[in-house]
Structure 1
């Protein structure tokens, strides 16, 4: 479980390592963000508050008056990227880079924009510009069409629900192996043993330090990944030399796999359902959700793989992180300041130690009257309070993170074309 969304890519790597058994299985908290002063006035305030469409218009007004404003161009491009509006994202991010060729954040956003569209040859130089050498090398090594999809629908039953959901999948035509999934990691990750058995070859590597230890992450190209009747060919994959030998699965499916499909994570029905992203499957999914009483909610994708929507805690609305998969007995996590502001009962007599960026952090049980995502509600449920408030690397405030236990009575459908999320009670049809 994570807290504040204050994760950079290396923190996500550490999380993947931890969930694979390399480090502690305790819930992970977000790393503190680095404050950066920037111009923008009301536009920045709107963005920070999660009013992205209004913020986008405000940045456009700034650019009309000041076409050389790098911050406004970068942030306007980021607004487009949050909603997978690729033409807008490309237009403004290219403007930002033209104005400031060394702007690493603009390069990172544009690299992400091309990566989401499977334009790896275009993404590679911008990963380089963002100083992500491993990704630059990996994406430059691709030949042919990445994420080539074979099959129309895949349904992979959960082999377990707790402590982390698992499904079965095959690497390069080999025997079925157990995979967890988590929307707080990006690409497909596999264990060192699974990588060796699949005959994977590293084309790039990266050193990561976590909890006083050093790990090497290796990046390669997987020929085939098959689960539940769907096969993906020619996809990015990574593994680590730090496997403890005690992990309960053979790898982890990240958001990059999930956003290639109309994805339903059916907690209530205990299955992962992947459908081709077409207008017809989207219409059917909307109709199914409406019949199940689900209302469409906005879906935002930030920092390459993190999912967000609009929800509420104790009746107070705001942007919430939608963390699907992973572990955690609590339904949500929130900053202590948020819990106090909303008068949520916090049990300060029962502190818990967990890890954040390799350091000990103290959190406390708390019990909000209500946590809501659309029509999905958890009342008087066990949550955590413990991280400082304020925007993380995403740049916007987050009311709370909704995690594993919140979704158990529901099925969640992610539409990455229409950028909407539906949460409905009971199993998917």
Structure 2
């Protein structure tokens, strides 16, 4: 046991040392760059290559410093301006990025990369309509503009056109297979589209291409991969059975709606908060232990509910959740420690569990209603006739 513990410590120490050494190397390189920049065109080319490597690995602040040094030597270089705009966008500095990219697109109306960068900036800032115009224009100019395909794929994702998103992101990966951002986006969209095994494979590919310097993020992705592989073996998630519609009473606790649900074959009702602001549902660690719900995957850290500390991310799987007369089978959940126990809350119902229903919370009558989507569509069709 002592040897195993010591071995784990040595491995962890080596990993920490590796990433620390990488960071120190980048800092030393940047400190030495001003003297390099005074030299030959070959030196500038080396700096540009290093900046591109840093950009691809996600070291955006360091890449920004290099691109700024290059721009000092070549202030009219539009491609450098666009590269700088891109790394500013990745740091969510959208105004600065826009101010850098827009003049280039305006002065070079046939520059497809300029419109691709500008479109992604607008997309990140939430201006979907103008982003779409820029990204489509980039593809009109150059059908092989991978960044434009990626941007349109993300736009489809945000607007819930999942199959179209997967197709466009796949085009981006085909055109630029070494760009880890595209692979990561494909993993996210595939998971949302319930293509869980494909999503796990894309996450694995992403880690092989660009392992995050943040060890905790790396562990989170590994845990998510294992979770996706587990649920990928299930025929289907969120399987609906029982009645087409149901109504259950709610209680309001600290301005949050709480309903009672039943998990699996357990007879006792459990108190769950309706939390449509989150995707996946959550069950408390204490309730999971009581119901003998075992973890199926784990990895990385997240903030605990009701507290300020961080705790390990743990995934679980519920055989079914019954709300009134409706049963929802095969429900993935997070298992988390709850700090505020005085409220007797067992979990939180996320949007994914009830996304196939029309839902209504009526605070005047203190009722929560669920209507199967197909049933509601049929009712609307009959009323229109």
Output the TM-score relative to the length of structure 1.
0.52
Cα gap change, 1:170 to 1:135, in 2 (>3 Å): same
Aligned to 1:64: 140
Cα gap change, 1:233 to 1:241, in 2 (>3 Å): same
Distance (Å, rounded) in 1 between the aligned partners of 2:200 and 2:227: 8
How big is the alpha-carbon RMSD for the aligned residues of Structure 1 and Structure 2?
A: 3.1
Cα gap change, 1:127 to 1:236, in 2 (>3 Å): farther
Which residue of 196, 217, 221 corresponds with 2:313?
Answer: 217
Matched, 1:149 2:240: yes
Matched, 1:82 2:139: no
Distance (Å, rounded) in 2 between the aligned partners of 1:48 and 1:213: 30
Aligned to 2:346: 250
Distance (Å, rounded) in 2 between the aligned partners of 1:263 and 1:241: 28
Distance (Å, rounded) in 1 between the aligned partners of 2:310 and 2:225: 22
Q: Which has the higher strand share?
A: 1
Aligned to 2:167: 91
Gaps of 5+ in 1: 1-32, 291-429
State the Cα distance separating 1:96 from its structure 2 match.
Answer: 2.1
Cα gap change, 1:240 to 1:282, in 2 (>3 Å): same
Would you say the 8 A contact 1:154–1:275 is kept in 2? yes
SS at match of 1:215: strand
Distance (Å, rounded) in 1 between the aligned partners of 2:380 and 2:190: 27
Aligned to 2:72: none
Distance (Å, rounded) in 1 between the aligned partners of 2:206 and 2:366: 39
Residue deviations 1:173-207 (CA, integer Å, cap 9, x gap): 22111100223322110011211122212121123
SS at match of 1:154: strand
Aligned to 1:34: 91
Aligned to 1:114: 190
Distance (Å, rounded) in 2 between the aligned partners of 1:72 and 1:248: 49
Distance (Å, rounded) in 2 between the aligned partners of 1:107 and 1:276: 35
Would you say the 8 A contact 1:76–1:89 is kept in 2? yes
Aligned to 2:258: 166
Matched, 1:230 2:306: no
Matched, 1:282 2:377: yes
Distance (Å, rounded) in 1 between the aligned partners of 2:172 and 2:236: 29
State the Cα distance separating 1:113 from its structure 2 match.
Answer: 2.9
Which residue of 115, 134, 139 corresponds with 2:228?
Answer: 139
Distance (Å, rounded) in 2 between the aligned partners of 1:267 and 1:97: 48
Residue deviations 1:113-136 (CA, integer Å, cap 9, x gap): 333333322332234445522221
Distance (Å, rounded) in 1 between the aligned partners of 2:367 and 2:195: 30
Distance (Å, rounded) in 2 between the aligned partners of 1:125 and 1:113: 13
Distance (Å, rounded) in 1 between the aligned partners of 2:182 and 2:323: 35
SS at match of 1:149: strand
> Where in structure 2 are the equivalents of 1:386-397 lying within 5 Å?
none
Matched, 1:199 2:275: no
Distance (Å, rounded) in 1 between the aligned partners of 2:319 and 2:372: 19
Distance (Å, rounded) in 2 between the aligned partners of 1:113 and 1:261: 22
Would you say the 8 A contact 1:102–1:129 is kept in 2? no
Would you say the 8 A contact 1:126–1:136 is kept in 2? no
Distance (Å, rounded) in 2 between the aligned partners of 1:102 and 1:187: 31
Relative CO higher for 1 or 2, CA cutoff 8 Å, sep ≥ 6? 1
Distance (Å, rounded) in 2 between the aligned partners of 1:127 and 1:277: 32
Structure having the higher Rg: 2
Cα gap change, 1:82 to 1:216, in 2 (>3 Å): same
Would you say the 8 A contact 2:191–2:199 is kept in 1? yes
Cα gap change, 1:45 to 1:217, in 2 (>3 Å): closer
Distance (Å, rounded) in 2 between the aligned partners of 1:286 and 1:42: 42
Output the TM-score relative to the length of structure 2.
0.58
Q: Which has the higher helix share?
A: 2
Would you say the 8 A contact 2:150–2:169 is kept in 1? yes
Gaps of 5+ in 2: 1-89, 102-113, 208-220
Distance (Å, rounded) in 2 between the aligned partners of 1:198 and 1:242: 16
